Amino acid sequence: MVLLGDSIFDNAHYTSGGPDVVSQVRNLLPPGWGASLLAVDGSTTVNIPDQIQHLPKECTHLVLRVGGNNALTEASRLGISFFGMTGEPTSKSLDSLADISSAFESQYRSSVDACLRPRLSLGVCTIYNGCFPDKSYQRIASLALAIFNDVIIRVAIERGLPVIDLRLICKAPADYANPIEPSSIGGEKIAKAIVALVTRRDEQICGTRILSAPRIFSTPERRNRKSRIAKKHMSGTTNQALGSNSWIESARLVATGPTLRDRIPTNQNLSVKSKGI
């Protein structure tokens, strides 16, 4: 598997000698798996196609985390900086939100499309909210980042990609080496989510299904799809209803934390299967 993106994966410089994310991923992967780091500190969406050009031949899975540096670039247009306030947010900041969202969406779609061209399994990550000492500033930063995360999640749903929501993973101050970079503690949490995603260890995560609108199939495609589903149904591998109007699952939003099994009292004799990615 390969990690693509920015310093959230390429975080060795910020861990004060502790393990970085890719080292922790390697330690958690099952025997026979390997992990490569192509993410580069400081990268934005425009750098992802170049990273894709260096994929190892044996690669089977990609995990992308990008957008944080795009947010840093655009923050000044909103009257904020992720290293401190540049001025009071004004109504002009609100006027800029739509432009920023539209520009980032175009850039992010290009990055995801580049990652999909090799026809490998792909998962994406949201941008976490950071850890700022000023609570008022933290609220403003989190709100600004929601614009970018909305784009990431919408594009993932459209492409049917699983999402690791880093906002729900890196929540404690110890998860951060500075306001915007993960520590080894936060990196371990991120690594566990990545490994659970690519190895499909459902018992280690909790997740939410997100459904999109029904897909409209052309007549030949409808016939082919019905034939494939019927074959699977006869073999006992699926119970999906036939027909062009059935709802389809586009993506699953994934976060680490207590699984469903963990949340049920131990004195109840229940059989539970956690649905993750």
Q: Mean pLDDT in the chain?
A: 81
State how far the Cα of 161 lies from the Cα of 277, in Å rounded to an integer: 10
Are 187 and 220 found together in one domain?
Answer: no
Residue 106, in any domain of the structure: yes
260-265, long-range: CB within 8 Å, 24+ apart, which pairs?
A: 260/206, 261/203
The pTM (predicted TM-score) of the whole model is 0.77
* pLDDT tens sequence across 71-93: 988 877 766 655 555 555 555 66
Are 150 and 43 found together in one domain?
Answer: yes
Residue 233, in any domain of the structure: yes
State how far the Cα of 208 lies from the Cα of 123, in Å rounded to an integer: 15
Using CB atoms within 10 A of its CB, is residue 99 exposed (0-12), middle (13-18) or buried (19+)? exposed
Are 243 and 177 found together in one domain?
Answer: no
Are 85 and 219 found together in one domain?
Answer: no
Per-residue confidence (pLDDT) for residue 27, from 0 to 100: 97
Q: Which residue range is the domain that position 34 belongs to? A: 2-206
Are 233 and 104 found together in one domain?
Answer: no
Are 150 and 220 found together in one domain?
Answer: no
Residue 171, in any domain of the structure: yes
Instruction: Indicate which CATH number applies to the domain containing 13.
Output: 3.40.50.1110
Residue 272, in any domain of the structure: no
Per-residue confidence (pLDDT) for residue 113, from 0 to 100: 97
Are 243 and 152 found together in one domain?
Answer: no
Per-residue confidence (pLDDT) for residue 271, from 0 to 100: 39
Q: What is the share, in percent, of the chain residues with pLDDT greater than 90?
A: 60
Residue 257, in any domain of the structure: no
User: How many domains are contained in the chain?
Assistant: 2
